[in-house]
Chains A and B, each alone.
Chain A
Amino acid sequence: MTIMVVFTVYFLIPIWWLLVAATKERGDLTTTNALWFSDLNLVENLAATTGYGGGVLPRWLLNSVLYAGGGALLGTLLAGMCGYALAKYRFPGRELVFNVVLGGVLVPATALALPLFLLFSQVNATNTFWSVFLPSIVSPFGVYLTRIFAASAVPEELLEAARLDGSGEVRTFFTVAVRLMFPALVTVFLFQFVAIWNNFFLPLIMLRDERLFPVTLGLYTWNTQVNQVPELRLYVLTGALLSIVPLIVVFLLLQRFWRGGLGTGALK
């Protein structure tokens, strides 16, 4: 119990610090207690932060939601279909495909960023929305997880029954398999969402147009300009606080689906 409390505090202190810092005036940042409030200034800070640079921060947040939300949704769908196919259909080369995908799990995303940049350069597509979005919908780990899950959670007998009732393969996937695989799909979605949200290196290399930046890259850029525009120090903190809100919302909304085993008891 004590250990749990200690670790909870350990993990929550940085967030607490961020929350407190975002409510302070700039002058109070270094001069007052870092873990307790001084004059409350949160509303003014929020207004100034979202208004700086022609209101570019809300745009960054929206971009991040599009990259992460859209990318995770599409990525989950692709990974789910791929994993399901690998688990439920027998075809030559199945294990080879799976092993290659599995190999993909081992390649860090950072190592792929530069080759991707050169590839996108050849089709003149760097500095576009797609240059960040398309690489984001690929999730080898998702394929792995959904295959393992589908193998155990989607019974052959159920698929057989669906086929006998005249359901096509695609319809069976969307009406039967997806529901049974839901806990795994939610997991893949959350992992992918967080991975894209935090992916900093790919946008850093690909993007030069400020209006396309995700919030991570935008805040980093501001942070490197602090010496020229001192107000930015506070804006970076307030922006960081804003940027974790969507993550918290997504987790709170989706965690209930984690209570897995939707298919338990469906058969017997």
Chain B
Amino acid sequence: MRTTTRAAGVALLALTAVTACSSGSGDTGAAASGAAAACEPAGEPVTLTFTSWIPGIEDVVALWNEDNPDIQVEVQTGPNGNGGTYQNFFNQLEAGNAPDLGQVEYDALPNFRVQDGLVDLSACDDVVAAQDEFVDWTWQQVQLGEDDAVYAIPQDAGPMALFYRADLFEQYGIEVPTTWEEFATAAEQVRATGGYITNFSQADVNQFAGLVWQAGGSWFGNDGDQWTVDLTSEESEKVAAYWDDLIERDLVSTYPGWTTEWDNAYNTGEVWTWNSAVWGANSIMTGAPDTAGAWRVAPSPQWEDGGESAGNWGGSTTVVFQGTEHVYEAAQFALWLNTSEEALTALIEAANLYPATTEGAALPALAEGVEFYGGQPIYDVFAEASTQVSPDFVWGPTMTQVYNDVSDGFSTAISGDQTLPEALAEAEESTVAALEAQAIPVAS
């Protein structure tokens, strides 16, 4: 009976929808928030929905479902966040049917926060107690600048290091650079052999953000009332000027990232290094199969001799969405998924995720040498890097717009019509305008 009524209702709606152009829905599912949501067990069996785009996540969740008959988790899936799932989350929050749990990358958290889409989990004692298990900076990222709040459970991280062609450096007698100054000198030597030391990809703005992060800068700030936009901070300018110089002197190539040309440049040995995140290990294996065994990984070049800082590129969290009736159960699952050895090992095997917990980074699955990298235990380098990532980098609430605007500016800069610092200055202006257009308070 219920299904019949529902089907009839749907049929009617579908027919009227031919001419209906605007939505009549005014109510939103998001409850007013601000204070941490209560965190009480339901006392009865519950079923949670969890949307994630990690390949093979069903198998990981199946492990949980087997051991927790009273908290069953149903996996829903879709394309990756920027590929459509974030937009779906916003639509679903608006319609009041968002899943209980979802996957959200660090750089998208502020966006969901300003739309009031996330449940603050700080009322859950287990969540607060788990803080020590995570690498410091990942926890800072999910607090979003509010001291006692926890808006997500960190899942994976993307600490950056330098992938380099050990064979080529040795063959031409060039030292593998440990500082950015040495990197620039090496760039000249590499160019003299006909190659490029690395590639600067205009569209990978979050890689550039990772470089600024390593230099100690931050693009945004939030004091609880107002946002500050600082794409032109001293550190940001320094990094931009550095790369601008390399591009202008034709010491780095400028292929668009993730294209066949780009793969080919690495596969043929035209480009020698890539300062990238831990998951980049896979990208090289896929894109440059002919170079197997020739790559090694070293810590990223430093701005100061003997410095110890690393950038981060990418990484996800598990969030609990507004509208859920089962905060406690959702938090329990999110903790298991991102801290238990069982789940993390399964995630590493299924999707090469790099855990955000200190114990996770030491799992046996990450201790072995990797054949493609000449048997080097490359994850040791990244584990070290992960502890060196600054906790102070803050993402803004409109990162999609920021990425687009910076990327446009960078592409103009690469064609020689402006400089990278100029592109950042322009993007800063358009970002302030974008925040103001959304009525998000900005400090001038």
List residues of A whose CB falls within 8 A of some B CB: 26-27, 30-31, 53, 100-101, 103-104, 107, 111-112, 114-127, 130-131, 134-135, 137-138, 140, 204-205, 207-210, 217, 220-221, 223-230, 232-233
Task: Contact check, B53 vs A30: say whether CB atoms are below 8 A apart.
Answer: no
Query: B261's closest neighbor in chain A, by CB?
Result: A30
Question: What is the number of residues of chain B that contact chain A, defined by CB distance less than 8 Å?
Answer: 53
What's the minimum C-beta distance from A100 to chain B, rounded to whole angstroms?
A: 6
Q: B7 near A114 (CB under 8 angstroms)?
A: no
Residue contact B91 to A205, C-beta cutoff 8 Å: yes
Chain B residues contacting A124 (CB-CB under 8 Å) are 6, 97
Q: Is B78 an interface residue (CB 8 A)?
A: yes
Give the complex CA separation of A100 and B19 in angstroms.
8
Interface residues as binary, B1-42 with A (CB distance below 8 Å gives 1, 0 otherwise):
000001101110111011111111100000000000000000
Interface centre among B6, B14, B96, B289 (most CB of A within 10 A): B14
Whole-angstrom distance between the alpha carbons of A134 and B13 in the complex?
9
Given contacts A114-B91, A221-B77, A221-B78, contact A208 B51 (CB under 8 A): yes
Bound together, the chains give a CA A208 to CA B87 distance in angstroms of 13
Contact indicator B23/A119 (Cβ below 8 Å): yes
Chain A residues lying within 8 Å of B20, measured Cβ to Cβ, are: 115, 119
Find A118's partner among B6, B84, B94, B263 (CB 8 Å cutoff).
B94
| A20, chain B: closest CB distance, angstroms | 14
Interfacial chain B residues near A230, Cβ < 8 Å: 282, 285-286
| Contact A204 B21, beta carbon cutoff 8 Å | no
Closest CB of chain B to A189's CB: distance in Å?
Answer: 19
**Interface SS of A by simple majority:** helix
Determine if B287 is an interface residue (Cβ-Cβ < 8 Å): yes
Q: Contacts of B128 on A, CB cut-off 8 Å?
A: none
Chain B residues with CB below 8 A from A226, complex form? 286
A120 vs B17: C-alpha distance in the bound complex, in angstroms? Answer: 10
B116-134 interface code vs A (CB 8 A; 1 in, 0 out): 0000000000000000000
On chain A, the residues within 8 Å of B79 by CB distance are 204, 217, 220-221, 223-224
- Contact A228–B55 (Cβ < 8 Å): yes
A-chain residues with CB within 8 Å of residue B352 when the two chains form the complex: 228
Check A224/B76 contact, CB under 8 A, given A103-B19, A204-B88: no
Q: How far is the CB of B398 from chain A (nearest CB, A)?
A: 20
User: A117 near B17 (CB under 8 angstroms)?
Assistant: no
- The answer to whether A227 touches B14 (Cβ under 8 A) is no
B78 touches A208 (CB 8 A): yes
Which residues on the A side are within 8 Å of B7 (C-beta)?
Answer: 130
- Asked whether B367 is an interface residue with its Cβ less than 8 Å from the other chain, the reply is no
Contacts of A225 in B (CB 8 A): 53-55, 80, 351
State the CA gap A38–B136 with chains docked (Å): 50
Which one of B6, B10, B289 has the highest number of Cβ atoms from chain A below 10 Å of its Cβ? Answer: B10
- CB distance A204 to B17 under 8 Å? no
- The docked-state distance in angstroms from the alpha carbon of A41 to that of B187 is 41
Give B278-319 interface residues, CB cut-off 8 Å to A. Answer: 279, 282-283, 285-287, 289-290
Q: How far is the CA of A245 from the CA of B18 in the complex (A)?
A: 31
28 contacts between A and B (CB under 8 A): A30-B289, A31-B289, A53-B56, A107-B21, A115-B23, A117-B91, A118-B24, A118-B94, A119-B13, A121-B92, A121-B95, A122-B13, A122-B25, A122-B95, A123-B9, A124-B97, A134-B14, A138-B14, A138-B15, A138-B17, A204-B88, A208-B88, A220-B79, A223-B79, A225-B80, A227-B283, A228-B351, A228-B353
Q: How far is the CA of A114 from the CA of B23 in the complex (A)?
A: 8
From A111, A208, A227, B76 is in contact (CB under 8 Å) with: A208
Given contacts A114-B91, A210-B77, A227-B283, contact A104 B25 (CB under 8 A): no
Top 10 A-B pairs, shortest CB-CB distance: A208-B76, A121-B95, A134-B14, A230-B286, A224-B80, A118-B25, A118-B23, A228-B351, A224-B83, A224-B79
Residues from chain B with Cβ under 8 Å of A101 in the complex: 18
A4–B286 CA distance with the chains assembled, in angstroms:
39
Report if B444 contacts A (CB, 8 A).
no
Assembly CA distance A207 to B91 (angstroms): 12
Contacts of A53 in B (CB 8 A): 55-56
Q: How far is the CB of B288 from chain A (nearest CB, A)?
A: 8
Question: Is B99's CB within 8 Å of the partner chain A?
Answer: yes
Q: Give Cα distance in the complex from A223 to B88, angstroms.
A: 18
A138 to B292, CA, bound (A): 54
Asked if A126 contacts B13 (CB within 8 A), the reply is no
